[in-house]
Amino acid sequence: MKDRLTLKERIKITGRGIGILRKYCPGLAGGKAVSAILAAVQPLLSVWLSAMIINELAGERRGNYIAAYVAAVVLCNFLLLLIKSMVDRVTEEKEAQMWNFFGMVFADKAMSMDYADLEDTKVLQQKQEASENLLMFGNGLGQLVWGMNSLVNATVSIVLSVSLTVTLFLSDTGTKWMDSHLWIVGIGGCVLIGGMANAKATRKENAVFETWCKETVWFNRTFVFYEHELAKSPERAKDVRIYRQHKAAKRAFREMKKRDEAVGGLLRAMATYPALAAVVVGVGTVVCWVFVVLKASLGAFGVGSIVQYIGALGKLSTGVQDMMFVLADNEVYCRHLRGLYAYLDIPNRKEEGTLTVDMNALCNGSKENGCEYEMEFCNVSFRYPDAKEYSLRNLSLKFKLGKRLAIVGKNGSGKSTFIKLLCRLYDPTEGEIRLNGVDIRTYDYREYLRIFSVVFQDFKLFSFSLGQNVATAMEYDREKAEQCLAKAGLSERLKNMPKGLDTALYKDFESEGVEISGGEAQKVALARALYKDAPIVVLDEPTAALDPIAEAEVYTKFNEIIGDKTAIYISHRLSSCKFCDEIAVFDEGAVVQRGSHEVLLQDKGGLYHELWTAQAQYYEG
């Protein structure tokens, strides 16, 4: 097998995996280990006590001894099974939730990594491979959970089995060839060969399985899209029906069937190797049986001891096979874990900064002490990762905080990119963005984000309650949430909600959830921006689903509501920007005009006049 890992590497990888399990699934690995110990002890203890009972029945038949052994068998089995069932109940519940916890591994990484990486196709591919391996097959962390259970069980079984078979080789028959210590080597060799054959079969099987997994990654991705996303997604339902896209799904399923048949041979190969190993193990088992029976026939021990030795050797053989399997399997899931770690270890290149943001000064400085704070783009250029063209080129723009700034321009002129840079979702490729003359990269990143309330053009609401969507928190100020919804124009809709603020949006988790229109969703997003109460409010095409009159009303209300806050508006409808203090006109990644609505209209050769004239004809009688 290619890419073999050293034992040191495997120990390190496994140790880190256990650390992740302890963080995200506390108690699962420990519970599995305890259950495995109990599962290994119980049968061997029963074998030993059964042997004692049989030997006593075949020998002196002492009633008190027999009663004691029987009582011990019943009591020990009852206690061990009781404790194991209690432990299993807890661990099974944890294991059932394990997949949700594994999802949190990816969620936490997504929240901590640079936003630029979230849109990087290479990173997305890396994440998809790691998540599909883990969440669909259990490769990596899932195998580690199951492997730990097998490892503990095998270790305890081997130790106890060896202790129960020591007397087999020490018992005397009076026959030199039967009492030879070479039998220890022979029987041990049979057990080891069986285990090694099983391990080799496991490696072969795993190699085939990995190839099969790579093939099925495409299958799973295709299946999820065509079976769930395309066929069942409410967002796509209308287009699927109008354009008959279900035909494309049928063609995809036919292709999937061909691919599935092509990998069918791999599954047959996976079954062949364990079958061959089973033959080798069976031969070793026969040798062990023959040795035990021969020694018993020569008078080395009683009938009960035959039960003990046969049972112990059987468990020893199984334990060695399981140990070999675990060691072979460990290399496989360590390789999967290494792929997961490669994704989790993607470094954050964004400068976090340490300078504290003076929120009070930003909110109140201009009106309390006459200070004028400002944001400034200084010769900023930006190009998206792997893009050939710049989205912004040598852009310089300064605006005072506490004012209203509108950003207008044609599609693709760089307006949304400007907002992403302002909010530090990306950093400039060249140039600087400054807050009060200080490069924003020197500010503490989390504190800097607190100064913005943003409604993006592709905003998202979540399948939580209405109030939780507004507050973006499970616990929130209900009165404040209602006030923000009222300011956003949703008072009447709120009154008609069956559970008020506690009404679930959408039906993903609650059958009584409410489906809201696009315009209503945009108003909820606006209320969310108000609830955050940040000093700078950014509206990036937030009212595209509203008609022009409703949009104008929203902006007029916002102009009143925001008060002394800074507001930055991006809109294709220029009539909604007339109340702004200043308008910046973008074209091909640069600011080509600046000024008030009246001033810009006077420049009849300018882009703003062109855009205004093109739109005005639709509103004139």
Tens digit of each residue's pLDDT (9 = 90 or more) over 5-64: 888 999 999 999 999 999 998 989 889 999 999 999 998 888 888 888 888 888 888 888
Residue 525 pLDDT greater than 80, yes or no: yes
Q: Report CA 329 to chain centroid distance, whole Å.
A: 23
Tens digit of each residue's pLDDT (9 = 90 or more) over 567-589: 898 877 787 777 788 999 999 99
Cα–Cα distance measured from residue 547 to residue 549, given in angstroms and rounded to the nearest whole number: 6
The H or E element spanning position 591 is strand 590-595
Tens digit of each residue's pLDDT (9 = 90 or more) over 203-243: 666 666 666 555 555 555 555 565 555 555 666 666 666 66
Nearest alpha carbon to residue 570 among 408, 418, 376: 408
Backbone angles phi, psi at 206, to 5 degrees: -65, -35
Residue 621 pLDDT greater than 50, yes or no: no
What is the overall mean pLDDT for the chain? 81
Cα–Cα distance measured from residue 28 to residue 127, given in angstroms and rounded to the nearest whole number: 25
Cα–Cα distance measured from residue 188 to residue 182, given in angstroms and rounded to the nearest whole number: 10
Helices (H), 25-61: 28-58
Tens digit of each residue's pLDDT (9 = 90 or more) over 591-612: 999 999 899 999 999 999 998 8
What percentage of residues in the chain have a pLDDT greater than 70? Answer: 79
Confidence band (pLDDT; 50, 70, 90) for 1? Answer: very low
Mean pLDDT throughout 179-183? 77
Cα–Cα distance measured from residue 356 to residue 186, given in angstroms and rounded to the nearest whole number: 74
Confidence band (pLDDT; 50, 70, 90) for 366? Answer: very low
Tens digit of each residue's pLDDT (9 = 90 or more) over 368-425: 444 567 899 999 999 988 788 999 999 999 988 888 899 999 888 999 899 999 999 9
What pLDDT is attached to residue 79?
A: 92
The H or E element spanning position 149 is helix 141-170
Long-range contacts of 557-564 (CB under 8 A, 24+ apart): 557/487, 557/488, 557/489, 558/526, 559/404, 561/487, 561/530, 562/537, 564/366, 564/367, 564/402
Q: Which two tokens stand for residue 484?
A: 């923000």
What pLDDT is attached to residue 156?
A: 92
Tens digit of each residue's pLDDT (9 = 90 or more) over 93-138: 888 888 888 889 988 998 888 888 888 888 888 888 888 777 766 7
Residue 334 pLDDT greater than 70, yes or no: yes
Which domains are delineated in the chain?
7-344 (1.20.1560), 462-532 (3.40.50.300)
Angle at CA 415, nearest 5°, toward 411 and 416? 100
What percentage of residues in the chain have a pLDDT greater than 90? Answer: 24
Q: Among 69-83, 397-411, 549-563, whose mean pLDDT is lowest?
A: 549-563
State the chain's maximal CA–CA distance in angstroms. 120
Cα–Cα distance measured from residue 403 to residue 15, given in angstroms and rounded to the nearest whole number: 55
More confident of the two residues 517 and 552 = 517
Backbone angles phi, psi at 611, to 5 degrees: -65, -40
pTM for the whole structure: 0.71
